[in-house]
Amino acid sequence: MSVVKRLMEFEKTDSSKLTIEEFDTKHIDLEQEMDPPCYTEGLRKAKLAQVRLYYSRVFVKVFYRLF
């Protein structure tokens, strides 16, 4: 399953549009560099966790002020 997931992530990159010959050539300069999708997904999940923690704390403060 992990290999399939990585291939699906690779499809989202500019490198996936290269031919085998272009991919093997070391001198191809892509217009945009990208972090691996699994890395950016990890960053997104970490940010989401921070936002959830922040708003849960805000909710608790508001809740206790009401009662």
Average pLDDT score over residue span 43-57: 95
End-to-end CA distance of the chain: 49
What pLDDT, on the 0 to 100 scale, is given for residue 11?
86
Q: What is the total residue count of the chain?
A: 67
* pTM of the predicted model over 0.85: no
Tokens of 60: 């608790």
User: Do 59 and 35 meet the contact criterion of CB atoms below 8 Å apart?
Assistant: no
Rounded to an integer, what distance in angstroms lies between the CA atom of residue 51 and that of residue 45?
10
The pLDDT tens digits of the residues spanning 1-49 come to 688 888 888 888 878 888 888 877 766 666 667 787 778 889 999 999 9
> Which residue type occupies 26?
K
Neighbour tally for 15: CB within 10 Å = 13
Report domain extents, the chain.
1-33, 35-67
